[in-house]
Amino acid sequence: MENVTFMMIKPDAVENGFIGNIIEKITSAGFKFKALKLTHLSKKNAEEFYKVHKDQSFYDDLVKFISRSPIVVAVLEKENAVSDFRTLIGSTNPDDAAEGTIRRLYGKSKGENAIHGSDSEENAQLETSFHFSGFDIY
């Protein structure tokens, strides 16, 4: 469903106390929260969540980072949610992200970049199912 996306506030942003600021940016941009929770991924679940990247050189660091402390995961609704949310968060590398985007404001590096947003409707659905069992908006 193109009006729904999945997002995750990553450990660096949670550790630095940015949950409130980031949620404010998201609601101000017109997204509605359909599901929301604070959680902490085990190493095993982190490996599973990021399995599409398992052949990448940064995979081990990515798994270690995402499982090191709590994260916030949510399902968001808005017209064109997937692409509008990617615009709101900005480029993967915060140094390349546009002014005012969440990664530009709160990200530190390509790895520790504050937030994740699904890159397709299909992945939004897969990532939502991973974190919210029984979620039935689709």
Binding site for ligand CMP (CB under 6 A): 53, 58, 62, 92, 110-111, 113, 116
Which residue's structure tokens are 């994740």? 116
Rounded least distance, CB 92 to ligand CMP, Å: 5
Q: Which is nearer to ligand CMP, 127 or 132 (CB)?
A: 127
Q: Closest separation between CB of residue 18 and ligand CMP, Å?
A: 16
Pair 62, 112: CB distance under 8 Å:
no
Instruction: List, by residue number, the catalytic residues.
Output: 116
Torsion angle, CA of 91/95/98/103, rounded to 10 degrees? 60
Dist. CA 118–CA 82, nearest whole Å: 6
Which residue has its beta carbon closest to ligand CMP?
Answer: 116
* Nearer CB in complex with ligand CMP: 3/92: 92
